[in-house]
Amino acid sequence: MKTISTVAELRAALAEARRPLGLVPTMGFFHAGHLSLMRAARSANATVVVSLFVNPTQFGPNEDLDAYPRDEARDLQRAEAEGVDIVFAPTVEEVYPTGFDTTVEVGGLTESLEGAARPGHFRGVTTIVTKLLNIVGPDAAYFGQKDAQQALVISKLVRDLNIPVRIEVCPTVREPDGLAMSSRNAYLDDEERGRATALSRALRAAEQVVADGRIDAASVVGAARHELDAAGIDPEYLELRSLTDLTPAERVNGSTLLAVAARVGRARLIDNTLLKDKRT
């Protein structure tokens, strides 16, 4: 496995790479969710590139950029064990050199949920993903369903800008207790970890309500909120949204997204589930 830190060196290495080529964009501190993306890329591509870059432009001024967990040495070991060919680990100066003053912004899908809670976040995401796609030129790029809104935004980005890449969205990977894998789980102490599992329990409660035939938003969201209330968690948002355009949904109809974000201790956690009325 090669570890590369400059765009010029990466492009030189990829000029001789076998196709198809898969890209897994990450901010490092690898957990089982990241590793599942690497395995998906490895199973379908001759060459796998993983980017390892904590992107400052997607953090707000009062967010956890400085505290975001990092362990590059461990990350490189884990990537190599998964058969990754190249880890691209650039510096901030390599990605955003002096004079950099260009952004990429997707409208519509970025205006609710995470976009409303974290102004400017998606501008940072879409800019860095566009740069990575341009630098690497992959045939496919791999993202996790846990960041459902991000996956929708990236899919729209490549569609709108005619970027020739296939976006693969892989299932959320969970701890045995249901907690969705996240680098920010490292912030949780034992008591907070127990409370944080209420997010996944809330989603399962909503799934059960739909399975029982109650598909109106009030019933679905109410069942999820009951679980959060029992754990003393006040969500930043808990909303039922259309999976196509993220507009508010009055009922589960086709594939509908129930998304939640909440703070537990120092950790801001997100999770979601796709709900479908099986009668339709």
> Residues 34-47: pLDDT tens digits?
999 999 999 999 99
Examine the domain organization and report whether 28 and 166 are in the same domain. yes
Instruction: Provide the pLDDT for residue 255.
Output: 86
Instruction: Provide the pLDDT for residue 277.
Output: 85
Mean pLDDT confidence for 146-150? 98
Do residues 258 and 216 touch, judged by C-beta distance below 8 A? Answer: no
Number of structural domains found in the chain: 2
Examine the domain organization and report whether 80 and 208 are in the same domain. no
- 31 assigned to active site: no
Mean pLDDT confidence for 133-149? 98
Examine the domain organization and report whether 195 and 227 are in the same domain. yes
Do residues 253 and 215 touch, judged by C-beta distance below 8 A? Answer: yes
Do residues 172 and 180 touch, judged by C-beta distance below 8 A? Answer: yes
pLDDT above 90 for 279: no
Do residues 186 and 29 touch, judged by C-beta distance below 8 A? Answer: yes
pLDDT above 70 for 280: no
Q: Which residue in the list 31, 34, 121, 226 is annotated as catalytic?
A: 34
Q: How much of the chain exceeds pLDDT 70, in percent? A: 99
Is the pTM higher than 0.75? The answer reads yes
Examine the domain organization and report whether 106 and 197 are in the same domain. no
Examine the domain organization and report whether 122 and 241 are in the same domain. no
> Residues 205-236: pLDDT tens digits?
999 999 999 999 999 999 999 999 999 999 99
pLDDT above 80 for 8: yes
Q: Which domain holds residue 244?
A: 188-276
- Read off the tokens for 258: 């129930």
DSSP H/E element including 121: helix 121-136
